[in-house]
Amino acid sequence: MLAFIIRRLVQSIGVLLAVAFIAFAMFRFVGDPVNQIVSIEASPEERAQIRESLGLNDPFVVQFARYVGRAAQLDFGISYQFRQPVTKLLGERMPATLELAFVSAVFALVVGIPMGVYTALRRDSWLAKLFQAVSLVGVSLPTFLIGILLIYVFAVTLGWLPSFGRGEVVRIGDWWTTGFLTASGLRALILPSITLGMFQMTLIMRLVRAEMLEVLRTDYIKFARARGLTRRAINFGHALKNTLVPVITITGLQLGSIIAFAIITETVFQWPGMGVLFLQAVQNVDIPIMAAYLLLIAFLFVVINLAVDLLYAVVDPRLKVSVRAA
């Protein structure tokens, strides 16, 4: 088990380094940090001086090592646009994005799994066909259209829910702000999380359905029926459990992409999260923010992947053996 964990850790660090390399390459080759700091009239000597002081004349590898070292200490430099530490800027907005992503993920799971199970067990019912139609729409409509639609129906026309912003937030500790503790905060979460979670929900639903149908065809399910087990025991005790195991992995990986997809949802709902910050950075070529965001996403992905792998090893007894052997 230990060898397995170590191997995965090494892999993860490899991925992070690769991403760091790309992020760093952006720094070096796209845009000129000197220009960002100094005004246009600066003399060539001043520029040369600044270059030296920033260490821009050092060999590539040295600069890269420096970058990675700083990143490990959460120092991502200063934003070109806002002249503030990137870490602070990202930090301010992280809770908003993470809360949104979390609620979306929960929504996707809580709605997607039962729908998937239902469409697998009652394949020919009209409700199943309806669910499948909904899933097709969910996969086809771009996220931003869904968001706009929801806003139009629930905010503009019906006026039930807010169309932008986070509502009232409460500060916890010295960093986190949460929208969970206020009524307006909770209401503000509803539409964005449905929008963000919709795509994931349809993916999960289709996955669960496909897996379950696959499982229902296996020999052990046949044998279970031949033993006279009740339908309930077979469908939920056996089939569902076996379905959920691979679903966990894929869902876990999806969770990572929710955070990145948040960019779109945040734009539609004017949600003050990291995604909007990143978008602005892209539009204005604010490299420090772009690079930091990339690394952050990579880090989150890697952590989630690792967690999912460990979870898998815990849940599936077959893996415990092979993991021990690894």
Partner 1 sequence: MTQPVLSVRDLKVEFVTRRGVLKAIDGVSFDIAPGEVLGVVGESGAGKSVTGAAVIGLIEPPGRIAGGEIRLKGERIDNLPPEAMRRIRGKRIGMIFQDPLTSLNPLYTVGEQLVETIRTHLPLSAGQARRRAIDLLAEVGIPAPERRIDGYPHEFSGGMRQRVVIALALCAEPELVIADEPTTALDVSVQAQIITLIKRLCAERGTAVMLVTHDMGVIAETADRVAVMYSGRIAEIGPVRDVVKRPLHPYAVGLMGAIPSLEGQADRLVQIRGSMPRLSAIPPGCAFHPRCERAFARCSVERPSPLDRDGRKVACHLYDEAQAEAAS
Partner 2 sequence: MSDAMQDRTEPPAQAEAAPAPGWFARMMDHDLMASFLASRVTVLAAVVTLVLVVLALFAPLIAPYNPFDPAEVFLIDSLTPPRWQAGGDPRFLLGTDDQGRDLFSAILYGLRVSLIIGVLGVMMAAAIGITLGLVAGYVGGRVDAVIMRIADVQLTFPAILIALLVDGVVHALLKGASREDTAFGVLVVSIGLSFWVQYARTVRGSTLVEKHKDYIQAARLVGLSPVVIMARHVLPNVIGPVLVILTINLGLAVITEATLSFLGVGLPPTQPSLGTLIRIGNDYLFSGEWWIVAFPGLTLAALVLAVNLLGDWLRDALNPKLR
Q: How many residues does the chain have?
A: 326
Residue 282 engages partner 2 in binding (rule: CB under 8 A): yes
Nearest to 31, CA basis, from 274, 276, 291: 291
Residue 228 interacting entry, from partner 1, partner 2, none, C-beta within 5 to 8 Å by type: partner 1
Answer for which of 60, 144, 180, 223 binds partner 1 (CB under 8 A) is: 223
Residue 219 engages partner 1 in binding (rule: CB under 8 A): yes
Residue 121 engages partner 1 in binding (rule: CB under 8 A): no
Q: Which is nearer to partner 1, 152 or 220 (CB)?
A: 220
Residue 18 engages partner 2 in binding (rule: CB under 8 A): yes
Taking the complex as a whole, the smallest distance from the CB of residue 78 to partner 2 amounts, in Å, to 18
The DSSP bridge partners found for residue 176 are: 172
Nearest to 191, CA basis, from 247, 74, 279, 269: 269
Asked if residues 252 and 308 have their Cβ atoms less than 8 Å apart, the reply is yes
Residue 13 engages partner 2 in binding (rule: CB under 8 A): no
User: Which string of b and e fits 61-85 if b means at least 16 CB within 10 Å?
Assistant: eebbeebbeebeeeebbbbbbbeeb
Answer for which of 84, 218, 270, 284 binds partner 1 (CB under 8 A) is: 218
Residue 303 engages partner 1 in binding (rule: CB under 8 A): no
Residue 128 neighbours by CB distance under 10 Å: 17
Answer for which of 138, 209, 238, 263 binds partner 1 (CB under 8 A) is: 238
* Rounded Cα distance, 287 and 72, in Å: 18
Asked if residues 174 and 225 have their Cβ atoms less than 8 Å apart, the reply is no
Element (H, E) at 214: helix 183-216
202 Cβ neighbours under 8 A, 6+ residues apart: 112, 134, 135, 136, 138, 139
Considering only residues 163 through 182, tell me which ones interact with partner 2, judged by CB under 8 A: 163
Q: What is the DSSP letter of 78?
A: B
Q: Is 164 helix (H, G, I), strand (E, B) or coil?
A: coil
Residue 20 interacting entry, from partner 1, partner 2, none, C-beta within 5 to 8 Å by type: none
**Sites of contact with partner 2 (CB under 8 A):** 15, 18-19, 26, 29-31, 136-137, 139-145, 148-149, 151-152, 156, 163, 216-217, 219, 221-222, 256-257, 260-261, 263-264, 267-268, 278-279, 281-283, 285, 290, 294, 297-298, 301-302, 305
**Sites of contact with partner 1 (CB under 8 A):** 218-220, 222-231, 233, 237-238, 241-242, 245, 316-318, 321
